Amino acid sequence: MNVAGRLDPLPIGPFHRRLLLLSGLGWLFDSMDTGLVSFVLARLKSEWSLTSDQVALAGSIGLLGMLVGGAFGGRLADRYGRKAVFQWTLLLFSISTGLCALVPNFPTLLALRFAVGVGLGGELPVAASLVSEFAPAAQRGRLIVLLESFWAFGWAAAAAIADLLARVSSARGAPFPWRFAFLVGALPALYVFVLRRTLPESPRFLMARGRGAEAEAIVRQVEEASGRPHGASLAPEPPAPPARLGDLFATGLRRRTMVLWTLWFAMAFSYYGIFIWLPTLLVGRGFGEVHSFSFTLWITLAQIPGYFAAAFLVERIGRRATLAPFMILCAAASWGFGHAATSSSLLLWGCLVSFFNLGAWGVTYGYTPELYPTRLRATGTGSAAAFGRFGGVLAPLAVGRLLTMAATGGATGVGGAASGPAVGPAGADAGFAAIFTLFAVVLIVGALAVALFGEETRGRTLEKIAA
């Protein structure tokens, strides 16, 4: 019997919930750091007199690191194991984040944010591959979406922490304590030791590497935790050849790879372009720092029901039928956000952007590892994530350039408090509207790629999908 024959029929039990928690908490801390840096940049823009292009560079440099981390982390995980790479990338991320609290200048911050990105980019696709290889086929998509939902809780924590720090510092007449915010983001360094002791290796990976006895022991552990008797012993498998990047474009995989790379580019471009800049954009539109952070908190909280809606739908109607509509609705909400005429409509459209974008992200992380065989799963997922980071790198730079062009062309910022009825002349200034129209167009392109060329994987074992 193979691994699928023993793991896929199992119900969701204590082992799966523990695995989800162990992996998800790592994502929560990662997300908290990514969220906190967006608030930090809003403060550093004034404290260090940064230009819009410099803020964009600070946002993009971490994504460039994620590109490198995704490209190499996946390949290392297919060679040395999911568990080891998950631990070491999390440790790199944590230490680099803590050091950001000590930076004396902008160039040093850029170097450390690159290192943070390498750790983060290597960790996320590996975690998704690991959970997907343990999950029963009937619940695999839902588990991965729930794993991704920890990202929303991390961003919400970041927004809540930033909002609290901004209010306290404002009441004391002090600037936003951005160095302390980075120290908070370094907490995962403590968590890596828990992962080292308790996180199991993927039995599918172990079988592919000819380590059948280790795989058998882990499968028995999962069966016992699920209250099921042990199945027939795992049949030996010939060791799989090492993963190569060119294998992702072999016959049968080429179309999948192209669809996934397009999908990841569209998702990363829209997400990082919007959320890294969001506090700064709101401040630039006339909201005070406290009001901007409060608005961002409410918009961020809308991510959580978005994930749960996607988790419900992904096993009911399928991956494509959930993913493409979520992306199209996010595009519509993005256009509405860019053309919002009042503070209340800005909040409404922002919440809808957050709801649909993060719901789509949850499906993206679940869908990607399903489309590759075990020997290529982490490599394929990491490569798709790495290609997507090109979008993540370009989007903050594009936002910075559009803002600079708008300012040079004489576009004016908007005034008024958050409670005022209007947030801009004639509803929105041209630069703000152009930014969110661009996001809408990119999302529609990604949705069309999935709808027209994507493959449905709901209810199929990983081995049957790969066949």
CATH number for the domain harbouring residue 111? 1.20.1250.20
User: Widest CA span of the chain, in angstroms?
Assistant: 73
**Cβ-count burial of 151 within 10 angstroms (0-12 exposed, 13-18 middle, 19+ buried)?**
buried
Mean predicted lDDT score pLDDT of the chain: 84
Only one residue has tokens 């869908």, namely 367
Radius of gyration of the chain (CA): 22
Which residue, 457, 239, 254, 445, is CA-closest to 368?
A: 457
Question: Over the stretch 13-26, which tens digit does the pLDDT of each residue have?
Answer: 899 998 998 888 88
* Cβ atoms of residues 90 and 98 within 8 Å: no
Look at residue 429 in the predicted model and tell me its pLDDT.
60
Which residue, 461, 15, 460, is CA-closest to 223?
A: 15
What DSSP assignment string belongs to 104-137?
-SHHHHHHHHHHHHHHHHHHHHHHHHHHHHHS-G
Q: What is the rounded end-to-end Cα distance, in angstroms, of the chain? A: 17
* Cβ atoms of residues 26 and 127 within 8 Å: yes
Task: Please compute the mean of the pLDDT values over residues 75-81 and round it to a whole number.
Answer: 89
Grade residue 84 by pLDDT with cuts at 50, 70 and 90: confident
- The rounded distance, in Å, linking the Cα atoms of 172 and 156 is 24
Task: Please compute the mean of the pLDDT values over residues 201-210 and round it to a whole number.
Answer: 90
Answer yes or no: is pLDDT of 42 > 80.
Answer: no
Question: Over the stretch 404-451, which tens digit does the pLDDT of each residue have?
Answer: 776 666 444 433 333 444 444 333 366 778 888 999 999 999 999 999
Task: Please compute the mean of the pLDDT values over residues 121-129 and round it to a whole number.
Answer: 86
Q: Range of 427's domain?
A: 3-466
* Cβ atoms of residues 326 and 195 within 8 Å: no
Look at residue 423 in the predicted model and tell me its pLDDT.
47
Chain-centroid distance of CA 452 in Å reads: 24
Answer yes or no: is pLDDT of 288 > 60.
Answer: no
User: pTM, whole model, 2 decimals?
Assistant: 0.78
Question: Over the stretch 372-388, which tens digit does the pLDDT of each residue have?
Answer: 998 899 899 999 998 99
Question: Over the stretch 228-262, which tens digit does the pLDDT of each residue have?
Answer: 888 888 888 777 777 788 899 998 899 999 999 99
Question: Over the stretch 309-351, which tens digit does the pLDDT of each residue have?
Answer: 999 999 999 999 999 999 999 999 999 988 877 778 888 998 9
Look at residue 435 in the predicted model and tell me its pLDDT.
85
Question: How many beta carbons lie within 10 A of that of residue 49, not counting itself?
Answer: 9
Question: Over the stretch 152-201, which tens digit does the pLDDT of each residue have?
Answer: 888 888 878 887 887 888 778 777 788 888 887 777 766 776 776 788 89
Which residues have C-beta within 8 Å of that of residue 172, sequence separation ≥ 6?
Answer: none
Share of the chain above pLDDT 70, in %: 90
* Cβ atoms of residues 131 and 19 within 8 Å: yes
Look at residue 446 in the predicted model and tell me its pLDDT.
97
Give the count of domains, the chain: 1
Listed range (51-60, 126-135, 365-374) with the worst mean pLDDT:
51-60
